Amino acid sequence: MRARLSGALRWRERAGAAAAVLVALTGIAAAPAYGPLATLPMSSTMAAALGVLAAWPYDGRRIAAVTGGAGIVSLAATTGVLLLGEEQRAHTSATWMIGESASLLILVVLVVRAAPVRHALIAAGLAGVATPVLLLRFGLGPPTLAALAGFAVWGLSAALAAAVGLYLRSLDDHRARSVRAARQAQRTQLARDLHDFVAHDVSGMLAQAQVGRILAEQDPQQAVAAFQRIEQAALQALASMDRTVRMLHDADDLAAGDWAGRTPLPALTDLPELADRFSCSGTAVVHLDVDARLEDPNDVVPREVAATAYRVVVEALTNVRRHAVTASRVEVTVRRTRSVGDLTGHGLEVTVTDDARTGPAPAGHVLGGASRGGGFGLAGLTERVEALGGTLAAGPYAPHGWRVAATMPLAAAPHGGDIRPVTA
């Protein structure tokens, strides 16, 4: 795609250069008939406009230099007409003047849109002043109402061209701000993903290292197996970091709408492997229960919902390993549920419950998902779930343990939609 775009741009530049040369030659050829002070300014300004348009987008300073040069040429031609007294000859070539003024107005639009402010003011000022001054080529007779009206109309045309350029400049600035905001959102999302997945793998490595240190003295064979699991977790963490760094390098080339499509998202089918890795890397065993209806190929779960559900499970299991070291069993349930007041609407309910008898709540996590600080962990997942129209709750679960529960609609829902909350 980039090669095709580059080839098209080169072809356009060559075509524009050829057209500019043709216009310049036409002005030179017509000089004997209409006079060089009429044809050469028009051909040079039109060649400049064609060259800038053909090479667009162009460096702003170069556009300012070309536009300022065209304005100086036009002003010099007008001065030459007045000094040499060739007003009548200029009058017979009014068509050339119209083409010259149109080219100057095009250059004013382009330079105001693309050039730095100081350069744009100077270049647009020269070209803008040159536009109404063209009328002086008809002579310096006594000021009349028609002459003043003509100056006003041509001056307003230059002002209108500058206004159009300012409007296009504002659109470009807005687009640039939107792109920067999208890139920042991408980087924030990548940081959250790095927290969700790498932290899970690193915590598994820590648990296995602690177990391996004990088994190294008691059962060397099991210690070797523990070290193999550490190696696998480390490789997974490195792969996640490699993907994150690669996506950060590619972020400048991705539009906001394309990023989600280019980034591989986890799905509900990845949950069994996640549960097995967690069970193998610690003392707690994960029991996974996924609603059979969700495995129906005709029952498609939106990928944003599936990816968020997977991240909820990852974060909950990571917190179990960090803060519930006494847990021996973790129940992970993924099932359909109904939205309140809607007989046809369905949601996805994800619950992760451990049986730890002791262990405080993770720092910054508040019952009901009210915590908003930090933007990572359950706080970040709360924002993510609510953006999909769902709710997330985390808190103690009777008779003992901790539960994280999230409910998200499977169909489009407004922000903060009426989804049945899950209580402990």
Q: Report pLDDT digits (tens) over 170-218.
A: 998 988 888 778 767 766 766 666 666 666 667 666 666 766 666 666 7
**CATH top-level class for 266-424?**
alpha beta
Q: Report the percentage of the chain scoring pLDDT > 70.
A: 66
For the segment 25-72, what is each residue's pLDDT rounded down to a tens digit? 887 887 777 777 778 888 888 888 888 888 777 788 889 999 999 999
Question: Mean pLDDT, to the nearest integer, of 365-377?
Answer: 41
For the segment 84-124, what is each residue's pLDDT rounded down to a tens digit? 776 545 445 667 788 888 999 999 999 999 999 999 999 99
Q: Are 315 and 371 in contact (CB under 8 A)?
A: no
Count CB atoms within 10 A of the CB of residue 218.
Answer: 8
- pLDDT score for 364: 39
pTM of the prediction?
0.50
* Domain definitions of the chain by residue range: 2-141, 266-424
Token representation of residue 265:
């998202």
- pLDDT score for 34: 74
- pLDDT score for 416: 41
Phi, psi of 66 (to 5 degrees): -65, -45
Question: Mean pLDDT, to the nearest integer, of 404-419?
Answer: 65
Q: DSSP string covering 141-184, please?
A: ----HHHHHHHHHHHHHHHHHHHHHHHHHHHHHHHHHHHHHHHH
Question: Mean pLDDT, to the nearest integer, of 385-404?
Answer: 86
Mean pLDDT computed over every residue of the chain:
75
Reply yes or no on whether the pLDDT at 162 is more than 90.
yes
Please state, in angstroms and rounded to a whole number, the distance separating the CA atoms of residues 149 and 337.
Answer: 74
Question: Mean pLDDT, to the nearest integer, of 373-384?
Answer: 65
- pLDDT score for 236: 66
For the segment 307-360, what is each residue's pLDDT rounded down to a tens digit? 888 889 988 888 887 777 788 889 999 998 875 444 445 789 999 999 887 544
275-278 LR contacts (CB < 8 Å, sep 24+): 275/332, 277/204, 277/232, 277/233, 278/204, 278/317, 278/321, 278/330
Order the strands of the 285-290 sheet from edge to edge: 285-290, 329-338, 346-354, 402-409, 391-396
Token representation of residue 338:
């109904």
Q: Are 334 and 309 in contact (CB under 8 A)?
A: yes
- pLDDT score for 60: 86
- pLDDT score for 88: 47
